[in-house]
Each structure stands twice: as C-alpha cells, then as structure tokens.
Structure 1
Amino acid sequence: MSKVILVTGSNTGIGFDLVRVLAEKGHIVYLSARNEAAGKEAQANLKTDGLNVKFVRMDVTDHDSITSAKDVIEEAEGKLDVLVNNAAIGIEERPAADISMDALRRLFDTNFFGLVQVTTTFIPLLRASKEGVITNVSSELGSNGSQAQNHRGSPVYSASKAAVNSYTIALAHELKKDGIKANAVTPGYTATRLTKFQGTQTIREGTEVVLRWVLLDKDGPTGQFGIREELCQW
C-alpha cells in the first residue's frame, strides 16, 4: 500500500537516497530542503530517472516555513503516514570543557528544537493516518550507554542526539494511544557531507538501515533505538 512520506533535509546524503528508494517503491514522497533551488535541483535529478517526487520547501528552524509545508501536504494528501526527521548539521567542536555557546545554540536549533517543531506541527496529519510513523534519524553518539563505555568526540553533536533520543521515548509513550509509532535510528558511520565524506559505509548502506524503521506496519515496534542489525542502548 502506498504511503505519504515526508523526509526533512533530503536534498543530499542519506535523506536524498531514502527519497529515491521510497519513490522507487511507489510511495508518495515529499523531498524537503531549506534552500528552494537546491531542493528543486534534487527533485529534478530524480525526475530525470523517472521518479515522481514532490518538493516542499522547509527550514526546520523557521516555524512559518514548517507551517506552510504542513498546509501544502494537508491540502494535497489530507494526511501524513510517515515523518522522517532527517535534517541535521554538524559543527567542528571544542572539547566538552570548552564548548562554544554559539555552536551549541546553532546545532541544537536544527538538530533538536527544529526536529521538535516539525514533529509537533505534523502530528495532526499523522493522527489522520491509520498507521502513523515517526522516524528520528539519530546517532550512536547520542547513546549515553554507548558513550559511557567508549567515549568519542563531538560533545555538542552527541548532546543534541541524546536529546532527540529522550524526546523519541516520550513521543512513543504519549502517541501509542493514537496508533502512532515513534523510533530513533542510527544509520551508522556513513560517508556523507555531514561526516566530511568519511565513514565506514556507503550512503546506500546507511539508507537501508533507516528504511526498515520507515516502512513499519501497524504492528511494528515503537520506542526503540534501531541500529544495523540490532537495537542500540538508549
């Protein structure tokens, strides 16, 4: 059955590849980007490959653009089956004991506050779906358990993803009564622009991890932190 799916921050990287794969499977997919020209260029590239993908401009740090995107999808589709919160940024960081407050605020604005703002705006459309799904693209760096056992760098990025994980747990509990599933997933260390094209796996490999948590059926899991072949520690 075809689903209506929105992927935020999807003009490049895993988000773009996820849009491609979902469109190939016949779903109604909305590609979004904060830069309209970049988003439409990504849409055009997919259309050249014969894929009918829709574009909606959305900056996750701009409430008006989020509301406008919600209105566009509501008017065209009347519902949203899956929200993939993929938009995120990474910043070159100082050690935890000497964090730049400007970097902290900028990163949290996108990676956490923006994600919350998008989610709360689209919950009414997810409630209109019979099988609503929220998939928050997180990172193993946001796992407190993992970090305690094997600490790695990026303290600000890690903190933002830890906040996403905590928020996901709350969403899963609160929205269960509405039949909406909420999960976080880490695609793994993938070679994308976010990682300066370093990584231990390809974009498609990262996409395949996220995909399993996007196309859940009505009996699928909720309140989980997914990783490649298992569940990760919160």
Structure 2
Amino acid sequence: MTTTLITGANKGLGHESARRLIDAGHDVWVGARDATAGQDAADKLGARFVQLDVTDDASVAAAVQTIRDAGTGLDVLINNAGIVGPMAALRDTTADDVAKTYETNVFGVVRVTQAFVPLLEESENPVIVNVASGLGSLAVNNDTSRVENTIISLGYPTSKTAVVALSDMYARALPSFRVNVVDPGYTATDLNGHSGHQTVTEGTDAIVAMAQVGKDGPTQTFQDRDGLVPW
C-alpha cells in the first residue's frame, strides 16, 4: 500500500486530496498544525494523524519520528500547507509581511522536504508533490489574457514562484524521485473566502494525479488539471 503524507490536510485542498487518495487505496497521514482539528479530520476520513507545523523545526522532526515509529514508511509527500499572508497594497507591504508568507509557503516546503527525504529514499517509488498556483508561473503572470496578470502582490504570488523553482531543483537533485509542482486553479476554499469558481474536487485533480505517478511517470513538471503549465 502507498503511504502518503499531506501537510495542511485538515481542510480545503489537503482534506479533499486525502479523501480521494484514501479512496484510491493510499494509507494517508493527515498533517495539521492544530491537533484537535487534525485528529478530527483524520478520524472522519479514516486516515492517520500527525501533528505538523511546517514553520517549526521541532514539530517537523517529531512528525518524521512519529511516522518512522509507526512503521508505515512514506512513499508520497504532498507539500500543501500554505497561507495568503498579509494583504496590503504593494507600496504598503513590508519585508516582514513577505517574510511571514515565505515562512509557511517557501521555508515550510524546504523544512518538511529536507526532513522527510531520508524516509522517502527508503520507498521503491518516492514521490513529492508541491502545491503552488498559476500565480507562481512567470509566463502565466505575464499573459494579459489571464486573470493572474491583474494580481500584483509581493507576498503570495512570489512565494509560489519560489515553490515552482524549488520543485525544479528537487527534481534535478533527486533523479530517483518523481517531483512535480501543481496549480490547483481558482478553487473555492478558506484561502480565498470560497470565491473560487472551481469545486474543491476539481482543485485537487492535479494533486491526486501527480500523487499517483509511477516510477516511469513525469518528473520536473508544472501541471494543472488540464495538463502542463508554462514555467
């Protein structure tokens, strides 16, 4: 059985990804900062729970030990946890505002990935899926026909561009892994006040697909539910 860890999985895209992957036969660890919300979500899904705050080294190290001690191994890591961060006009945005967003969205991906790579290396088919956004694509951002072109912010969009770049680096550094980054699309979640036009199921299509790639599956790609996204 494939064992999968999803960060930020107590709600939204992470929760729906967990539900769908359990249905597909995965043994899923729900990672969540809030122990009560995470355990409740895991119980309802029929998943395992591990407390995991992606901004805290000790929490991440403890999560690694919890999963290792459970003896399930780990085959798939889905770095899903993310925040919008402070929303201020560009001229009013401070370095601290950007740093707060990066702490979760960028440094959290590095912190979790670095900690779990040794466990993933024990898998016969190690997979990493990083959840970014169309806002992370420079090509999409500069396409005047796309809604992303109208959004100018120093925090969230640039943090997702960094996630795209990190994914490229990890794919190149870990050739035996399948490492891909995905754009869920504009999905109705708490992150955007449920203003997205996609359902949460539609928003998890690319996540679920990339979580199930085989040894000969794609790696070093950026994808959404319709296929490849330009870098």
**Structure 1 length-normalised TM:** 0.93
Q: Which residue of 1 aligns with 2:102?
A: 108
2:49 is matched with which residue: 48, 51, 55?
Answer: 55
Aligned counterpart, 1:17: 16
Unaligned runs of at least 5 residues, structure 1: 47-51
Distance 1:218 1:125 in 2: 17
Q: Go from structure 1 to structure 2 and tell me whether the alpha carbon gap of 1:11 and 1:104 turns closer, same or farther (over 3 Å shift).
A: same
* Mapping for residues 26-175 of structure 1, pairs under 5 Å: 26-46=25-45, 52-77=46-71, 79-150=73-144, 151-153=149-151, 154-175=153-174
Aligned residue number for residue 205 of structure 2? 208
The residue type paired with residue 185 of structure 1 is V
Give the SS at the match of 1:31: strand
Q: Distance in 2 between matches of 1:149 and 1:24?
A: 37
CA distance in 2, matches of 1:221, 1:107: 29
> 1:95: Cα distance to partner?
3.3
Task: Give, in angstroms, the shift of residue 9 of structure 1.
Answer: 0.3
Contact 2:202–2:225 (8 Å) recurs in 1: no
The residue type paired with residue 190 of structure 1 is: T
User: Offset of 1:102 from its aligned partner?
Assistant: 2.5
Which structure 2 segments of 5+ residues have no match? none
3-state SS of 1:32 partner: strand
In the TM superposition, residue 21 of structure 1 has moved relative to its aligned partner by 1.1
* CA distance in 2 between partners of 1:124 and 1:86 (Å): 20
1:228 equivalent among 204, 220, 225:
225
Query: Which residue is 2:195 aligned to?
Result: 198
* Residues in 2 aligned to 1:227 and 1:67: alpha-carbon distance in whole angstroms: 31
In 2, are the aligned partners of 1:4 and 1:77 still within 8 Å (CA)?
A: no
Cα shift readout 1:59-96 (whole Å, capped 9, x = no counterpart): 00000010010011112236310000000001342233
Q: 1:202, 1:143 → 2: CA distance?
A: 22
Q: Do 1:141 and 1:152's aligned partners in 2 also have CA atoms closer than 8 Å?
A: no
CA contact (8 A) 2:222 2:229 kept: yes
Letter in 2 for 1:162: T
Identical positions, percent: 39
Whether the aligned pair in 1 keeps the contact of 2:179 and 2:220 (CA below 8 Å) is yes
Could you tell me how far 1:42 is from its partner in structure 2?
Answer: 1.0
**Equivalent residue pairs, number:** 226
- 1:49 corresponding residue in structure 2: none
Q: CA deviation at 1:203?
A: 0.3
1:155 is paired with a residue of what secondary structure? coil
